[in-house]
Structures are given as C-alpha cells and as structure tokens.
Structure 1
C-alpha cells in the first residue's frame, strides 16, 4: 500500500489545525473543525513522519479536503503584522539594509523596485490568508549558459588541521544590542575583493554548508534526548566532531536509531564525499536559476525549473505540496496556500543561501530575491525565514562585519512584530546571556525547547530560526562551534547545520581556514540528482557562483 508523505488530505488536517492556531485564526472555529474531524475518526497529525500508517475511508478523505478549505478561509488576526507581499514587508522594516560593501565585481542590479516586484499594493498585502504577489520578471537577453556540461573541479585542498573561523570581535555586548532591539554600529565597508579572493570566500561557504549538513544528517528526526544520549555514549559531548556508532552501546542504538537513509553516508566511518540532500540540492537549483534567468527571474521561472530539474520524490513538506499544486494546474503564488499547512516550515529558508552568496554585502537585494523564490511554497514567517537567511549570508559574504552584524542584517529584513523576528531575538538574547563554555549551550537549548517545542513541529521555521540565531551568537564566529552548537540543539539538524556552516564558512574566509577534519571527508565531491551536476566539486561550484554574481 502506497502512503505518499506530506500531501494526503487526511494527514494534512491535523497539521493545518495547529498552523491555523499559530496564525491567530478564530479559536472557536478551529475547535469546531477539530470536533468534527475527531468525531468521524480523524487522526492528529503524524508526530515525526510524513504520513499516517493506514489508508482512511474514502469519505474521511473527502471530508479532509472540505475541512482544509474551511480552515484556509478563516481570517488571521496576525495578518497586519505578518504580511507576505514584499512591499508590505518593506513598509514594516524601518532599517531595510542597503548595499554596504563593494565585495567584488557585480553587474548593475536588475532587481525590480518593490512596487514592480510585488505587482500589487501594500494595502492589499496577504498574510496567511492571502496569496503573495509574484513578479514574472524579464528573461535576460544575453542567454546565460547552462552549467550542465561544466567540468567538475579536481579534488582541492581541504583546509588546515587546526584553523577555525575567526571569532567575532564584537562578542556578547553587540549581541545584546540586537536582543534588546538596538541597532549597534553598522558594518564597515572594506576594500573591494578581487574575484579570486571572493571565489575563495564562496568556496568556504559551499564547503561549510555541506559539512554542517552532513554533520546533522544522521540525527535528523531524533529527539533532543536521543542526540544527547548518542553523543555522550560515544564520548562526543559537548559535540565537537562527526557522529559515530563506534562504541555506541546496543541499548542506546536501539532506543535512538539513526536516520536510516543517512547512517550509511554521514557517520564518521561512512562519509565518502558529500551525499545528496535537499539542503544541498536547492542551492544547486537556485544557482541554475540565476544562470538561466539572471536576477530578473520570476516565481514562475522557479516553478518551471522545479518541474524541469527537480524530481518530485526529492521534495518534502511545503515544497511537495507546491509541486503537487503545480501538477494540478494551480499557479504561483496560490501554490503556497492551497492545502499547504507547511507554509511556515523551514523549506524556503534552506533554499536561500545562493541569493546571499551572489549578493555579497547587499542583504536587501538578497532578501528580495529570496522572497521571489520563497512565495512559490511559503507565506509570512516561512518567507521571512528565507529572507533572514539570505540577508545574513549576504552580510557574511561581503565581509566587514562579524556574525553579530550579520544577524542584525538578517533582522533588518524581517517585520519586527512578526513571530520570526521574535524567535530570532529570543535565540540571540538567550545565547548572549549565557556563559560561552560549550557545555553552557545545553541550558540555552533547553530554554528554546521549553518555549517552542510543545506547540511547533520540529521542521517549523520558528524553533529552528531561534536555534540558528542562538548557536551563531554563542559560537561567536567559530566554524566548529557554530555547526556543533546548532546540530546539538536538535530539531531540523541537517538544515540548521547547513545554514550555520554556510555563514561560519564565509566568515572564515577560505576553505583552508575550515578545520580539515570537516572538509577532508567530503573529498571535494557532491552527490545530487540535479541533472549535470552529480559529483561536482565545491571549488567548481564556487566558480559558478562567482560567475552568477558578476
């Protein structure tokens, strides 16, 4: 019996009931829907899996579709503070960032102004109930070449044995400015980098993203208690290196099984190059997007690229719902709202790094491009997660600031009264007030889980954004500390590890500045089902990314 994950109506109702409550929809109406669903045998949402184990009665599936429509029609009390329309988002952000540094050669921006990018008015902004406006853009006239036939880079230098990324100079004091809402000093504008120097930075960003992703892969879906039990039993707590099952007691292995698909590719003893992962596939896809369409791409171009290059089986949560909607003839941006309870999960955030890598020192433009991509599948806080990540990465790629300045740049593109902004500020404040010893981060994580764990799925953007901000703050720019802190905090471990690794890698400045025990096992090789790119080296990806920045 086939049980397709993430799209079956009977599995979506429970998720939608929880998301609708988080959206601020009418409690009495939600309670009435929940009673109707329970009365006919409807189940709660699967806790960690993408599908319930048994097929429902056909009548139950029909009712599920009707209830999803009813829930979507309920107004959100948070709509004014959490718009999805880009112009409305920018209207809430008084400190929207401008380009701060000439980090490297760039062509003149073709990003449309906010009014053109949205195709609507700020007053018509849609939040959870309404569609995000789309900009179709102009196709570039120079016809960017496809990189499918690009020669893959040869294995390169993996990094020094003991050098980590430099710690941020500002430290906890500046982080507390962010936690209290203060702006702090703006980033300095360093001298422009040469193309080769910027390529080196991008190489570190790609390697860092891959290393952080692979570190988190074997413990994805595990509980926080499970992650801690495994690491402690193998002498790896506080987390400082790859997970291993060497020396893992049988009872702990049985109680907390590894992610079954990652056990053979992502433990210390099994890593042989970077394995395929959606956290690495989406940066590849968005690199293709920029090479084919340039900066004037539209959301429809993103949709077409997915249909052309992304196997449906490699999509999950909101992306799979959006993919299904495309196949059903639903056009963007309605793809993000139709029967999509995952619209505020982490999926858009994991797609955003390329927009930061290709806009170094320009977090505002990076956030606008990330928005255009995100609204295919997400709304409101799900979109903000992508914009936040893109802006943080852009600030890190540009140089001239530390990790705390990068987080400030990220917050500057997020509506300040939104739940995403609140989550980021909370994570920063908790980490900034903690002792910097590695073991002290456990208490920070416990407070994050107490606040967000009971009411949010482990893939929702809010707990993961809070954890990402806390880990980056506590690690203070150090590469190893950044990826180990964030993965040790649980939830979406590979996605968070990837984003933290990208930021910390960029701040490190070169592949050689990342400790070799993180980079050597990756063997300068990335596995992927994205056509023409399987086995590509991270050095070659840095070159392609630099070309997309020019």
Structure 2
C-alpha cells in the first residue's frame, strides 16, 4: 500500500499552479495544453490531492512546474514581496510608535478566547459550500447564525447532502464540545509565542524555520506551510521556501499566523506588520504576505485600545500596497458591508466577485473578514457569526474575527458565556509545552512578551 501525501505531490501541484498563473496574469496556456493533453488533471476544488495520476505524469509535472516558475507576472511590480518595496508602495505607512500604550492581560485573554471560539464555530462547516452552511443552520433554527452548529434535529437527507467536516464534527458541534480541540489556527499562534520566547522580537525567518523543524509535526501543516516544510527538508533555504513548487503561496496560511505579532505591539501597526512579514515570507509571497501584515497591523491597532473596529481595519490597509489585489479585496468587503442591511446579501456579493478563487485563497477570505467585521460594528457574537456564515475558510475567518473582536471587547467577562464556557479554559495541541494549557495562562505568557525588557535581544 502506497502512502500518498497531500499538498506536495508534483502531479497535484500543476493544476494549482496553472490556476495561480491565471490569477496573477501569467500566460500559461501552452503549458496547460501540454498538461491536459498528457492526461493531467486540473486543481481539485476542495481537497489536497486529485485522483492518483499515471506514474509517468510525475516527471512531466516536475518539468512543467519549473517552466511555470520562469513565467513573469505583470502584477509583480504592484504586488512586491520584499519589505522595502512593500513600504514604498504604501503611501500612508504608519509611523513607528515610540510610546506605545500598554495592553492589559485581560484584553489578551479575551483575544485568545475570541480566536478559539471563532475557530471552533467554523470547524464543522469548513470546506462546505455557502448553500450547505445556510441549509444546515436553517434546518436547526440557527439562521441568521447566532450560536454553535448542531446535528440535533437535522434531517438525515440534508446531513447526507452536506456532511460535516469529518475531522471536526466529533469535537465542534454544540452537543460534543469539550474544551478547544487542536487546530492549526491555534497551533500557529502558540508557535509564535514559542518563537518570541526563544528568539525575541528580532527573530529571523531562518529562526522560524528552525523552530518548525524542532517543534512542529509535519503532519500538522497544510497547503503552503507543508510545501515550505518539504522544501526545508530538501535543503532549500528561506525565502526560497515560499516559491519553489509552491502554488499555495498566496493562500491564507500566513494570515492565520499573524495574531501574536499584532497582540504584542499594541498601538504600533508598523512594528507588528514588519514582524509579521519576517514570519510570512517563509511560506508566502505578495498577497499571501499582505494577509499577515494586514492582520498584524489591524490587531496591533485594536490592542492599543485607542480605535474601534473600523480604525483597526484602516490601520491594516495602511501596510498593504494600495494597488494590490489584496487592498482591493479589503476595500470591496468593507464597501459591500456598508451597502447592505442583511449579511446574506453581503456574502452573496462577495461570492459573486470572488467565487472563482480557491476557498483557501487569501483574497476571498480577506474580503469576507473585512466585510464581517465592518458589518458587525465591533459586536463579538456578530463578528464571528458573520465571518463563519460567509463560507470559504470558515474556521480561519472565525478565528481572526474573534481575535480582533475579543481585543475590542477588552475582557473575558465581556464575551458571552455561550462562547467561552464550552471552551473550559483548555486547549488541545501537539505544540510541545502547551497541551491542555488554559487561555488565562496563555494570556499571561503573551502579556510578558509585550514587555520588551523581558525578551531576548
């Protein structure tokens, strides 16, 4: 019996890279023709692997991936990856803070709880189409979405048509939640805490790579992170790990790693974005990197306690190249939210605009995140429910929305009990030293990271 590892097989990557080429303006029609004439498959819509290909296709896939890498994108000038070029493309880059405001441990506690609750809300419907999410929630009287998903009272035919995420259903429905189960959306913030404890705020991208090899099981990585991990094992060094045979380099993975960079720089979006950039370039380029920078800056602004949700989103946009597709997606999401009373109509507009992208790509998810937070106007429950009810990467969007809304709430006591009580102040993880840790303890560790004198130089 053969082991087929998802997200890294050359024959699976070609379809994704052809899709990426179409999105970033590279003319790959001749390469696509050769691939499909040889019997190659397009990118799978939702899974990490397509139907196993004929063995002889692997050698062709490797050649075509190398040829695709040589095609230049006409968007590269407006969507750079290097930090100096990004800053040059941001006319309103925020000034560094010499006297940043303090962030309380309570505020950080609320951020951790918010991230966990939003993630857990989205876990059972991850990968489901928007129509399925709506149908499942409506059938149990939970639409507009207001609380956890449940299988109780769900018609068998509907459950068969839209099955819950098989990895999550036994830990993330209302009837079986027992603490926060393991998820990469929580593992990566934990790794960032470990990164800062071990190397300090001046860590390098190579430090992060070393940490991953030491502490992160390869099987707990996905998409761009798994490709970068494979590249590291093959002896490829950062930042080339983000580009080599990595068609997922503009997906959402770097965005979900950005929270702690923002939380530990209250009121200083510039420093948060620069730190997030050093993290993101291990695995991502261009818009994938902007997702991390935008999120870190928005969270830093919220952590400072001096802005509302709209000010936080505006701060995030200031560290993103103004003419990039990412900036356009955020502006589109904000505009859609302001133009509709009901969030279903907002989500429909977003899916009409970005429905051709993969559900894990950063652009549709950034548009949805911005729309959900704008439409909720700072309310915690509305923020996570709107982010999840819009589909695409439901657990990641719920997590980031919960993180920012939790910061704005300012205290665990400000979050509704229905979201926090089932978490039981317990987080499961395979990150060493953190399994079963409480969110209050995590807040304490994160709070200590905001005191620069306590960090390694």
State the alpha-carbon separation in 2 of the partners of residues 246 and 59 from structure 1: 48
The reply to whether residue 362 of structure 1 matches residue 272 of structure 2 is no
The reply to whether residue 216 of structure 1 matches residue 122 of structure 2 is yes
State the alpha-carbon separation in 1 of the partners of residues 168 and 57 from structure 2: 35
Instruction: Note if contact 1:319-1:347 (Cα within 8 Å) is conserved in structure 2.
Output: yes
Residue 249 of structure 2 aligns to a residue in which SS?
A: coil
Instruction: Note if contact 1:103-1:399 (Cα within 8 Å) is conserved in structure 2.
Output: no
Richer in helix (by share) = 2
The reply to whether residue 394 of structure 1 matches residue 300 of structure 2 is yes
After superposition, the C-alpha distances for 1:406-452 in whole angstroms (9 at most, x for unaligned) are 000000000000000000000000001222xxxx1001100100111
Match of 2:36 among 35, 38, 41: 38
The reply to whether residue 319 of structure 1 matches residue 225 of structure 2 is yes
The reply to whether residue 61 of structure 1 matches residue 58 of structure 2 is yes
Q: For residue 138 of structure 1, what is the aligned residue in structure 2?
A: none
Q: For residue 428 of structure 2, what is the aligned residue in structure 1?
A: 527
Residue 201 of structure 2 aligns to a residue in which SS?
A: helix
TM-score by length of 1: 0.81
State the alpha-carbon separation in 2 of the partners of residues 431 and 57 from structure 1: 47
Q: Cα distance, 1:3 vs. partner?
A: 1.9
State the alpha-carbon separation in 1 of the partners of residues 41 and 426 from structure 2: 43
Q: For residue 80 of structure 1, what is the aligned residue in structure 2?
A: 77
State the alpha-carbon separation in 1 of the partners of residues 5 and 177 from structure 2: 29
State the alpha-carbon separation in 2 of the partners of residues 261 and 377 from structure 1: 25
State the alpha-carbon separation in 2 of the partners of residues 2 and 294 from structure 1: 39
CA RMSD of aligned residues (A): 1.0
Show the 5 A alignment for 1:481-496.
481-496=382-397
After superposition, the C-alpha distances for 1:202-236 in whole angstroms (9 at most, x for unaligned) are 00000000000000000000000000000000000
Show the 5 A alignment for 1:9-408.
9-26=10-27, 30-54=28-52, 56-99=53-96, 102=99, 104=101, 193=102, 198-408=104-314
Instruction: Note if contact 2:100-2:268 (Cα within 8 Å) is conserved in structure 1.
Output: no
Q: For residue 444 of structure 2, what is the aligned residue in structure 1?
A: 543
State the alpha-carbon separation in 2 of the partners of residues 102 and 206 from structure 1: 25
Residue 93 of structure 1 aligns to a residue in which SS?
A: coil
Q: For residue 512 of structure 1, what is the aligned residue in structure 2?
A: 413
Q: Cα distance, 1:24 vs. partner?
A: 1.4
Instruction: Note if contact 1:464-1:492 (Cα within 8 Å) is conserved in structure 2.
Output: yes
After superposition, the C-alpha distances for 1:62-102 in whole angstroms (9 at most, x for unaligned) are 10011001001001101110000000000111111134695
Q: Cα distance, 1:23 vs. partner?
A: 1.3
Structure 2: runs of 5+ lacking an equivalent: 452-457
Q: Cα distance, 1:367 vs. partner?
A: 0.4
After superposition, the C-alpha distances for 1:173-210 in whole angstroms (9 at most, x for unaligned) are xxxxxxxxxxxxxxxxxxxx4xxx61000000000000
Q: Cα distance, 1:2 vs. partner?
A: 2.1
Q: Cα distance, 1:57 vs. partner?
A: 2.5
Residue 254 of structure 1 aligns to a residue in which SS?
A: helix
State the alpha-carbon separation in 2 of the partners of residues 524 and 358 from structure 1: 21
Structure 1: runs of 5+ lacking an equivalent: 105-192
Instruction: Note if contact 1:361-1:398 (Cα within 8 Å) is conserved in structure 2.
Output: yes
After superposition, the C-alpha distances for 1:133-169 in whole angstroms (9 at most, x for unaligned) are xxxxxxxxxxxxxxxxxxxxxxxxxxxxxxxxxxxxx
The reply to whether residue 427 of structure 1 matches residue 333 of structure 2 is yes
After superposition, the C-alpha distances for 1:448-471 in whole angstroms (9 at most, x for unaligned) are 0011112x1000000000000000
Query: Which 4+ runs in 1 deviate beyond 6 A?
Result: none
Q: Cα distance, 1:531 vs. partner?
A: 0.6
Q: For residue 455 of structure 2, what is the aligned residue in structure 1?
A: none
State the alpha-carbon separation in 2 of the partners of residues 394 and 505 from structure 1: 13
CA distance 1:251–1:102, shift in 2 (3 Å): farther
State the alpha-carbon separation in 2 of the partners of residues 268 and 252 from structure 1: 18
For this pair of structures, how many residues does the alignment match?
A: 450
After superposition, the C-alpha distances for 1:265-318 in whole angstroms (9 at most, x for unaligned) are 000011100000000000000110001111110000000000000000000000
CA distance 1:416–1:444, shift in 2 (3 Å): same
State the alpha-carbon separation in 2 of the partners of residues 100 and 397 from structure 1: 13
Larger radius of gyration: 1
